[in-house]
Structure 1
Amino acid sequence: MASSSISFSKRPSGQKGRSLPHYNFSAVQEKYHGRIAPWFVSVPLAIPGLRTRRLRFWLPNPRRIHQFSVSRFGRKRGFAVMVFAFAAMVFTTFALAKRFATEEKTWPVFTGDPPTLVFQREDLIGIWKWEISSGHYPSRRRIPEQLGLKTVLDNPALPPRKASLPPKFQAPAGPNAVTTHGIGPRRIYLDIQSQPPNVAYPPRPVPGSIADLDIIMEHCDFSTQKYVRDCLEVLRLGGGLDNGRRLRRNNGKMDDWKYIYLEQPDSANETIPVDASGMDETRPDIITDVARENPDIALTKKRGVEWEVPPIALPEPQRYRSYPSLSTPCDPENPRIFHMFWTGAFTDKPYLALLSFLFTQNTGLHIHDYPEETAACRPKFWLWINPGPAAAVPNPSATRDMFAQLKSSPWASPFLHPRFKDVIQFKLWNTTEQLDGVPELANEWRKRESLFNSGGHVISVPPKKQESNSAASSGTSNGTSEKDKADEDDILKRTGSKSSTSYDRLSVILSDMARFILCHRFGGIYLDADTLFLRDWEELWGWKGAFAYRWSRLEKYNTAVLHLNKGSALGTFLFRTALKNDLDFHPMTVSRYLKEAMLESLLLRLPDALFDSAWLGTEYYQRDRPPQPFFTDFGDFFDTPLASSAGPHALGFDGFFKGAFSYHFHNYWWKPFDPARNWPDLGPQFIAGEQAARASIRAAANAAALAEGKAEIPVDEDDITSDQRDLDWSTVLKRTFEAYIRGERPNMYGEWLSW
């Protein structure tokens, strides 16, 4: 059977089947690496007099009960079943307590996650001061009062305060500082619109423009009951993406939706006395005698480790430089590098991520001879390739082998074209080299028992064993050795996730750590490989603070998008804390690091509407007013439900979460974007790779047919009848990006690729 006949079943319209689970399991599997919670969990209890021994009790696991009940009975009935089970367990516990317990006996108290903190208050205050002085806190969000900061700090990333502040920015009177004193350049907020008659495409962002993420939080924060649909409208209008389709009239109130600004030259700035809303900077500290003797009294240290000593060593704060003060468009302290990490054979997933980058970002490819002096800073895309299994060590010829494989891959070879050399670069990932390049880890990471720890789930890598020649040469009748088959099932030898059952857990765990290493060493923004760009990121580059985004409805981080400043104090904190917590970089664990240290505001948790607009809908939230398109499952991107399958072809790229900066499709590595044309379709310029991909698919289909006793059937892949009648969203986006490379259409800003 040829590739053009491949089809995927769709949910029939109006079908009333078992309701979807409350949680989207593909998203859970992505970060929990496919683990299904066990039915019972062990609870260790201390044995009096034996400090090194624990008595283990096995109790029912609420998470597993919840998963089973919701998937088996649906959301509503499943929730009722779970509540009933919980009530029965509580009733049984108290019944046993009443029957057998005495007044002298007490029941053990179970706590949540153990503490992770290893830094004292003095160090935490030093981290805040360093980040603010370096201009990495361009926000008026309050500093935690519990931090105990006694001085209102100068903030070069904020303009001076106005004489009177809105109530939402006024700090309550108290002994500790919760605001900063803006001494930075003034801001001018832009009204961005396409000007007639050029309204077919939105205008490129103004070079040096900055997104005020405080304003975005006001309109998009799920914690304040803001809808993703409304957030996307604000992002569209404020960013000028509603070109020629502006249906809102500017009656003065629309100024609240202007979230993009330009900084004025320093000469335009004026000095305004600080308005600290009741804070007196010269007032003596108000602190209790107990706190004077022990300033860390309110902090809970990680058990079994000592505080970090000596105090955290930080370099001199970086000098904040506004865009007008730069001598070149690119700030060397804040390089515009997108990082992405990939393991295994190059497929259509990194292929489409790169195409979406070229289609949306200001790469200058519409100009044949890009000028050296320009107002815009060209972003770069560094794709880091881990050539083998996550636990393997690259061989000496790894770089040469990597480029040889990329050149032979139909999906990767187009990006080796000289036209893309200034904006796309392939980098070899070497775990040892990268860890040694992080000063906070270099001298100690080898003392860890394992590098593969995710959320407390540690995967140990045993020493490599010498294989016998007989075992290496033994094979099966079809030419595949027994060793090769075993390697496919061995979690330590997987290279990429080829199906939902062969999930490459080690590579995902390694990527959890890699994103922090890359941003800390080189600066820039990391994105997961299952991410597609949907608009220019110019305004996000201008905002100098660190950020990730929200884990759906939870007040936790998802680091599928991560911005850290190069060599920052925040990065130092994260690496030293992770080192004392067994190198655990799972986003849930990182959330605990920052919360316990009162540093959450330094890594701004943006609403997932900006990067992951479908997530809340897949978990049964905001379905009364969903965004466009309406996904109830991440799989809808690849297999669009029949009832809404007219949308992708009719609306195209402009109808796909317009306003969001990117889309995260959460895993699905094994699902092709375009089942009927599962090859790179980039035109005559890259026809050799296309023909090789078609031949490979045809040969595999014919081999499968012969194995089933069927005759080979020649198939014309370009026959329109072999195509899907209703194109899915993944197919529409792939074919849109490819049309830009073929020269059949401009990019999203109306710019034609110049070869």
Structure 2
Amino acid sequence: MGSVFYPAPRSQNLPRYNAFSSSSAVQEKIFERRQANSRPWFVPVAVPIPACRSRALRLWFLNPQRLRDASIFRLGYKRGSLLLLVMVTMVVIWALGKRFATDARKWPAPFTDPSTLVFRREDLQKVYLWEIESGHYPSRRKIPEGIALRTAPGNPALPTDDTRLPPPRLRPTPGGISTTTTGKGPHRHYPDLRVDPPNVAYPPRPISGSVADLDIVMEHCDFSDKKYVRDCLQILRTGAGLDNNLRVRRGNRDAYKYIYTEEALGMPEHTHTGREMQHTDAPSVPSETQTASDSGLSKKRGVDWEAPLMLRPAPPYVPHASLRAACDPESPRIFHMFWTGPFTDKPYLALLSFLYTQNTGLHTYQQIDACRPQFWLWINPGPASSVLNPSALTDMFDELKANPWASPFLHPRFKDVIKFKMWNTTEQLDGVPEIKDEWRLSATLFNSGGHAINVPARKSGSAEDSTSSASKEDDMLNRLGSKSSSTYDRLSVILSDMARFVLCHRFGGIYLDADTIFLRDWEELWGWKGAFAYRWSRLEKYNTAVLHMNKQSALGTFLFRTALKNNLDFHPMTVSRYMKDAHLENLLLRLPDALFDSAWLNTEYYQRDRPPQPYFQDFSDLFDTPPLGSAAPEALGFDGFFKGAFSYHFHNFWWKPFDVARNFPDLGPRFAAGEKIARNATAARLPGQEDAEEPEDLNDMPWATVLKRTFESYLRQERPNLYGEWLVW
């Protein structure tokens, strides 16, 4: 049969073309052009920060799609694509030439972060010389050539008989620039720290006034030199005698000695009564004719150079053996910690670990021959963006007394070593002389990595004020603590970035993040008078979760004036730029994270061929120890937890309890009332069920639980502390 053609019905609309209709191709081109012109030239990109889920850097990049569209629509597809390829090739060749074929050997500005520098070279020299003269540079590390000192300054924190440095006449001075210091301080003695048998059950307390030679620590622990965390911890625990009860015979142990003591200054010209002696004149700086110009320095765009620095006279360096009292007033031993929101088991454990490891003298009512450290816990009573009410201080202590996690530390036995302080942002910033008259002019106080969060002004009696707290729960401006990974209190984190520098500069001491657990006595770190933080895992950046700075130091002045001109950004990545742009990185020593954060490299897939003990592949392993390693916590106990490290940083996880079965302060009859309140709150028991049985323990306790119960048993007087000392109530 032949095919039959059926005409389409009239209702079916077929395309028709005439001279007055535009083709679909033309319409598509017009639409594409309009769409291309609507694309922005620059687009923001959120770059995640390694091992920090709550933070991201917001960077702006040229939109490649916008650049492609502009070239193609103007020149056509072939010529536009060719031109774009040629331009990209030329830019790459130019950038490589700047980096490898010029004297500066730096990437051009578009390929690097913009400069943050606001100080001239002469002021940078002042900062360096002030810190050296104050004894805050007890290091043999070279002074960067960018500082351009013409002569080697005398260093009172280095011994005059230091054989590790060549004599001044043999030290290279490229271009007439000195990169070393001349030791003029007391002799160092590196003792063999151990106790004699049979008293080997507990390690010895560090010698009062002893100092950790962090230059030696860097030799054994620096990740940049491919050193393993496992080997670093072995050096740290062996050199300090922490392995006393588990020591096996080894060869020559002299290489492990990194802790030293200093002799007293006995020369007539060095006699003194302590830090109360008159300050010396400010360090001298070479005249302008002798000082290199500002060539090679890149100033921050859009701002003027800072006025010449006016620093207070440098305090003289006095070794511990020459002090009249055990504590040095120029170097107060204060641990600072910042907390927002209800008091939980996280600061509770930080305080317990402090009592368990530090030389607080609670094992006796007699005077101890050592400087007792103090723990200052700073509490921001409301959301980070809120204004305190007049009764805030009274309300804060009322809440602490009613909180079972906090109330034990208000016991009179701890009044000399644990102090609760109220954080007031206005008062604290007004207490920093470098910025007190200008910080209110800053655009915002909440600036993290260049990403500013504006807090709108709130009018009294507005609808916003009358909004219920339940409806504000997910509002970032009203969060009070971090209850889960999705409701993270970011504003408080940003505020704490600034608070740590304010506290260390105003009062001196060491700042610690609240997710920190003490693992050993910090005596030797207090002895090192230089400023330090630690490394951001594999990156050559700072992590200020641990930060030591000297009170009212030249370094602090530099940092606050620089931060003021950079919108008060104290994000650790930005602080890294401040220090690098100014060639001052050696003044804030970047210690290996093995000392404070031993699991970090493993969690980022580094050094898994030789991991330390315990082997954590994720920070959550502290709370949920994997089955393959879950026998270790109970079998090894506290001694098996990163032994040798000074502390452990568990990186947030505020919402995970340390002890699921006993999620309450278990401190014995002395604190039974608070324990009962916490037990009932944990189990959410109804009236009449208060005496119900508690949840059954897991067969395999995670590390978090073992650590908590170890510290609690010390306060219950069921065991001594790390050094064999019993708490005396």
Q: TM-score range by the shorter chain?
A: 0.7 to 0.9
Given the two structures, how large is their TM-score scaled by the length of structure 2? Answer: 0.84
Q: How does 1:434-583 map to 2 (within 5 A)?
A: 434-468=428-462, 483-583=468-568
The residue type paired with residue 199 of structure 2 is N
SS in 1 for 2:661: helix
Distance in 2 between residues matched to 1:345 and 1:164, nearest whole Å: 51
C-alpha displacement at 1:27, in angstroms?
A: 2.6
Q: Deviations over 1:108-157 (max 9, x none)?
A: 98322111000000000010000000000000000012221001101000
Distance in 2 between residues matched to 1:725 and 1:25, nearest whole Å: 36
Bigger drift between 726-735 and 110-119 goes to 110-119
Distance in 2 between residues matched to 1:464 and 1:507, nearest whole Å: 19
- 2:728 corresponding residue in structure 1: 754
- 2:669 corresponding residue in structure 1: 684
- 1:28 corresponding residue in structure 2: 52
Contact 1:454 1:509 in 2 (8 A): yes
- 1:370 corresponding residue in structure 2: 366
Distance in 2 between residues matched to 1:638 and 1:118, nearest whole Å: 45
- 1:343 corresponding residue in structure 2: 340
Distance in 2 between residues matched to 1:192 and 1:201, nearest whole Å: 12
Contact 2:190 2:257 in 1 (8 A): yes
Q: Deviations over 1:208-245 (max 9, x none)?
A: 11100000000000000100000000001100001122
Distance 1:162 1:697, change over 3 A: closer
Q: How does 1:217-296 map to 2 (within 5 A)?
A: 217-249=218-250, 251-252=251-252, 254-267=253-266, 295-296=293-294
Distance in 1 between residues matched to 2:84 and 2:325, nearest whole Å: 77
Q: Deviations over 1:657-678 (max 9, x none)?
A: 0000000000000000001110
Distance in 2 between residues matched to 1:468 and 1:582, nearest whole Å: 30
- 1:142 corresponding residue in structure 2: 142
Distance in 2 between residues matched to 1:227 and 1:527, nearest whole Å: 24
Q: Deviations over 1:49-74 (max 9, x none)?
A: xxxxxxx76789xxxxxxxxxxxxxx
Distance in 1 between residues matched to 2:522 and 2:86, nearest whole Å: 65
SS in 2 for 1:690: helix
Distance 1:200 1:741, change over 3 A: same
Contact 1:627 1:657 in 2 (8 A): yes
- 1:728 corresponding residue in structure 2: 702
Contact 1:461 1:492 in 2 (8 A): yes
1:392 to 377, 386, 395: 386
Distance in 1 between residues matched to 2:164 and 2:206, nearest whole Å: 32
Quick check: 1:716 aligned with 2:693? yes
SS in 2 for 1:156: strand
C-alpha displacement at 1:370, in angstroms?
A: 3.2
Contact 2:156 2:184 in 1 (8 A): yes
Q: Which has the higher contact order (CA 8 A, sep 6+)?
A: 1
Distance in 2 between residues matched to 1:104 and 1:342, nearest whole Å: 49
Contact 2:152 2:180 in 1 (8 A): yes
Q: Deviations over 1:285-330 (max 9, x none)?
A: 999x9x98x8112000000000001x01101111111001100000
- 1:328 corresponding residue in structure 2: 325
Distance in 1 between residues matched to 2:89 and 2:648, nearest whole Å: 55
Contact 1:24 1:619 in 2 (8 A): no
Contact 1:26 1:666 in 2 (8 A): no
Distance 1:421 1:712, change over 3 A: closer
Distance 1:729 1:582, change over 3 A: same
C-alpha displacement at 1:740, in angstroms?
A: 0.3
Distance in 1 between residues matched to 2:638 and 2:678, nearest whole Å: 26
C-alpha displacement at 1:166, in angstroms?
A: 6.9
C-alpha displacement at 1:102, in angstroms?
A: 7.7
SS in 1 for 2:526: helix
Distance in 1 between residues matched to 2:201 and 2:78, nearest whole Å: 69
Contact 1:42 1:58 in 2 (8 A): no
SS in 2 for 1:676: coil
C-alpha displacement at 1:394, in angstroms?
A: 1.1
Q: How does 1:107-146 map to 2 (within 5 A)?
A: 110-146=110-146
C-alpha displacement at 1:483, in angstroms?
A: 2.4
Q: Deviations over 1:492-537 (max 9, x none)?
A: 1111111000000000000000000000000000000000000000
Distance in 1 between residues matched to 2:90 and 2:248, nearest whole Å: 66
Quick check: 1:743 aligned with 2:728? no
How many percent identity over aligned positions? Answer: 64
SS in 1 for 2:419: strand
Distance in 2 between residues matched to 1:533 and 1:456, nearest whole Å: 32
Q: Deviations over 1:88-118 (max 9, x none)?
A: xxxxx99964166789997698322111000
- 1:87 corresponding residue in structure 2: none
Distance in 2 between residues matched to 1:457 and 1:227, nearest whole Å: 35
Quick check: 1:632 aligned with 2:617? yes
Q: Deviations over 1:399-436 (max 9, x none)?
A: 11100000000000000000000000000000000000
The residue type paired with residue 741 of structure 1 is L
Distance in 1 between residues matched to 2:369 and 2:672, nearest whole Å: 36
Contact 2:162 2:183 in 1 (8 A): no
Distance in 2 between residues matched to 1:738 and 1:107, nearest whole Å: 62
SS in 2 for 1:183: strand
Distance in 1 between residues matched to 2:178 and 2:590, nearest whole Å: 22
Structure 1, unaligned stretches of length 5 or more?
1-22, 45-55, 61-92, 272-284, 474-481, 704-710
Q: Deviations over 1:10-65 (max 9, x none)?
A: xxxxxxxxxxxxx99883224x1xx5x88xx7536xxxxxxxxxxx76789xxxxx
- 2:98 corresponding residue in structure 1: none
Distance in 2 between residues matched to 1:59 and 1:123, nearest whole Å: 44
- Equivalent pairs counted in the alignment come to 642
C-alpha displacement at 1:466, in angstroms?
A: 3.2
Structure 2, unaligned stretches of length 5 or more?
1-46, 68-76, 96-109, 271-285
Distance 1:725 1:464, change over 3 A: same
Quick check: 1:157 aligned with 2:157? yes
Contact 1:118 1:577 in 2 (8 A): yes
Distance in 1 between residues matched to 2:61 and 2:585, nearest whole Å: 30
Distance in 1 between residues matched to 2:414 and 2:513, nearest whole Å: 21
Distance 1:100 1:452, change over 3 A: closer
- 2:200 corresponding residue in structure 1: 199
C-alpha displacement at 1:163, in angstroms?
A: 6.1
The residue type paired with residue 243 of structure 1 is N
The residue type paired with residue 742 of structure 1 is R
1:355 to 352, 357, 362: 352
Distance in 1 between residues matched to 2:674 and 2:537, nearest whole Å: 39
SS in 2 for 1:131: helix
- 2:598 corresponding residue in structure 1: 613
Distance in 2 between residues matched to 1:104 and 1:205, nearest whole Å: 60
The residue type paired with residue 304 of structure 1 is G
The residue type paired with residue 205 of structure 2 is R
Distance in 1 between residues matched to 2:521 and 2:230, nearest whole Å: 20
C-alpha displacement at 1:197, in angstroms?
A: 1.4
The residue type paired with residue 220 of structure 2 is H
Given the two structures, how large is their TM-score scaled by the length of structure 1? Answer: 0.81
- 1:305 corresponding residue in structure 2: 303
Distance in 2 between residues matched to 1:382 and 1:587, nearest whole Å: 22
Distance 1:164 1:665, change over 3 A: closer
Distance 1:306 1:734, change over 3 A: same
The residue type paired with residue 255 of structure 1 is D
The residue type paired with residue 43 of structure 1 is F
Contact 1:161 1:181 in 2 (8 A): no
Distance in 2 between residues matched to 1:519 and 1:200, nearest whole Å: 37
1:43 to 53, 61, 82: 61
Contact 1:557 1:605 in 2 (8 A): yes
Quick check: 1:316 aligned with 2:313? yes
Distance in 2 between residues matched to 1:411 and 1:383, nearest whole Å: 14
Contact 1:26 1:634 in 2 (8 A): no
